[in-house]
Amino acid sequence: MSIKDKVAIIGVGSTRFGELFEMSYADMVVEAAYQAYQDAGIEPDRIEAAWLGTANPGTSALDGDAGSSLAEPLNLYPRPVSRVASFCTTGMEAVRNAAFAVAAGEYDVVLVVGAEKMRDVPTRGSLVARHVLETHPYLCKGRTAPGQFALVGTRYMYTFGATKESLARVAVKNHHNGSLNPRAHFRNEVTVEQVVRAPMVAAPLGLLDCCPTTDGAAAVILARREVAEAMKSDYVLIKGMGFSVTGGYYNMQFQADNDFLGFRATREAAAMAYKQAGIKDPRKEIDVAECHDCFTITEIVNYEDLGFCAKGEGWRFIDDGVSTLEGDLPVNTSGGLKSCGHPVGATGARMVAEVTDQLRGRSGPRQVKDARQGLAHTVGGPGVLSCVIVLGRP
């Protein structure tokens, strides 16, 4: 048995991503969910169960702590609403757990919402500040996210001869895509020169190599395939899912299988998802992808880990323009984390929504021609968890 082709996506929605000081956590989840209801063409009452993905509960330590934070604003009472948390893979983990329940035949139509307030955190400070404050043995010694991914950047450039310009081209591409996405946090174009000359954060990563800190929510409605078929024609199917936890927990350097040139978690999760989907050559069989570009170097190693190109060839992949909107395998058509923004719990759901829209031909100026199969990918915490979901037209 396998969950392949048993679960359909029938509707998606998303807030604008950005500094949403004017919206509460509840405002965000309501906007995302009602867009998804409308897209699916269903009344809210049709939802039988829901999954909420929020990585770090909000200012009161209650927003997003449990399913109640979704059930209350949407009045889902008395339905079951689960909450999952899994660092940067949170949103996709919510989709994955919901998909199991649908594939098991427990529910016909379920809602998934990923949501995170990242800017609106006066009492807690940023994730990094919180970790430092709470004196984690590694993090309090400067192992912030930029600091950790910078190690991959340095090692990658040293080993394969990539330059800061190649890294910069990821930012240029994703800002261009974001400029076409009305929901993106950043909608400005940037140049290679601007990225390379930006203030340094953690060498070799400058300010424009880093994704922003963003508020946002995204929603996905799943249905049993037979139910979806009876409702509409423009649904997409989950073809394969993979989730992997690897590496030492914040002990990246002690892992024999970590060469600082990519992430084993991504390779394992992709292998699981490809096997389930029956994909042998992702370079040819994937038409569009959203991947986890928390930093520019991350997208480059993702190309390799996801099997889009050989090890050490990721920087040529972006240099050659293969992953641009006009290229052969467009990546992060949304603008990615880099430009669309990265509200941790929302990102995975937002990616699934973007790929769904691409496969339904609804992406407007960023539409990839005749996209039939795509994938969403997140990696997190730092590089120790990864989730890959392959979607396809029926």
Q: Are 39 and 14 in contact (CB under 8 A)?
A: no
Catalytic residue among 88, 211, 291, 294: 88
What is the three-state SS of 38-88? Answer: HHHCCCHHHCCEEEEECCCCCCCCCCCCCCHHHHHHHCCCCCCEEEECECE
* Rounded-to-integer distance, Cα 308 and Cα 323, Å: 10
Under rule CB under 8 A, residue 65 binds its own copies = yes
* Rounded-to-integer distance, Cα 60 and Cα 122, Å: 10
Q: Are 382 and 84 in contact (CB under 8 A)?
A: no
Options 39-47, 132-140, 301-309, 346-354: segment touching its own copies (CB under 8 A): 132-140
Binding mask 194-213 for its own copies (x = CB under 8 A): --------------------
Under rule CB under 8 A, residue 294 binds its own copies = no
* Rounded-to-integer distance, Cα 323 and Cα 176, Å: 12
Options 53-61, 200-208, 297-305, 339-347: segment touching its own copies (CB under 8 A): 53-61
Q: Figure out which of the listed residues 46, 119, 131, 342 binds its own copies, where binding follows CB under 8 A.
A: 131
* Rounded-to-integer distance, Cα 204 and Cα 167, Å: 9
Query: Among residues 198 and 245, whose Cβ is nearest to its own copies?
Result: 245
Cβ 51 to its own copies shortest distance, Å: 9
* Rounded-to-integer distance, Cα 155 and Cα 291, Å: 21
Under rule CB under 8 A, residue 302 binds its own copies = no
- Report CA 372 to chain centroid distance, whole Å: 20
Cβ 37 to its own copies shortest distance, Å: 18
Angle at 172 between CA 196 and CA 219, to 5 degrees: 125
Query: Among residues 68 and 154, whose Cβ is nearest to its own copies?
Result: 68
- The encoded tokens of residue 315 equal 């920087």
Binding mask 331-350 for its own copies (x = CB under 8 A): --------------------
Query: Among residues 66 and 261, whose Cβ is nearest to its own copies?
Result: 66
Residue 88 annotated to the active site: yes
Angle at 24 between CA 20 and CA 27, to 5 degrees: 100
- Measured CA to CA in angstroms, residue 90 lies from 49, 112, 200 at distances of 18, 11, 29
Under rule CB under 8 A, residue 87 binds its own copies = yes
- The encoded tokens of residue 160 equal 């394969």
Cβ 243 to its own copies shortest distance, Å: 4
Among the residues of 306-377, which ranges form H helices? Answer: 314-319, 336-340, 344-359
- The encoded tokens of residue 331 equal 């990546």
Under rule CB under 8 A, residue 105 binds its own copies = yes
* Rounded-to-integer distance, Cα 99 and Cα 234, Å: 18
Q: Which positions from 237 through 266 interact with its own copies, judged by CB under 8 A?
A: 242-250, 264-265
Under rule CB under 8 A, residue 142 binds its own copies = no
* Rounded-to-integer distance, Cα 269 and Cα 275, Å: 10
Q: Figure out which of the listed residues 38, 41, 61, 159 binds its own copies, where binding follows CB under 8 A.
A: 61
Residue 342 annotated to the active site: yes
Catalytic residue among 175, 185, 342, 377: 342
Q: Figure out which of the listed residues 268, 285, 290, 299 binds its own copies, where binding follows CB under 8 A.
A: 268
Cβ 163 to its own copies shortest distance, Å: 32
Which residue bears the tokens 């010694």?
141
Under rule CB under 8 A, residue 103 binds its own copies = yes
Query: Among residues 237 and 331, whose Cβ is nearest to its own copies?
Result: 237
Binding site for its own copies (CB under 8 A): 1-3, 6, 49, 59-62, 65-69, 71-72, 76-87, 93, 96-97, 100-101, 103-106, 123, 130-131, 134-137, 242-250, 264-265, 268, 272, 380-381, 384-385
Residues designated as active site = 88, 342
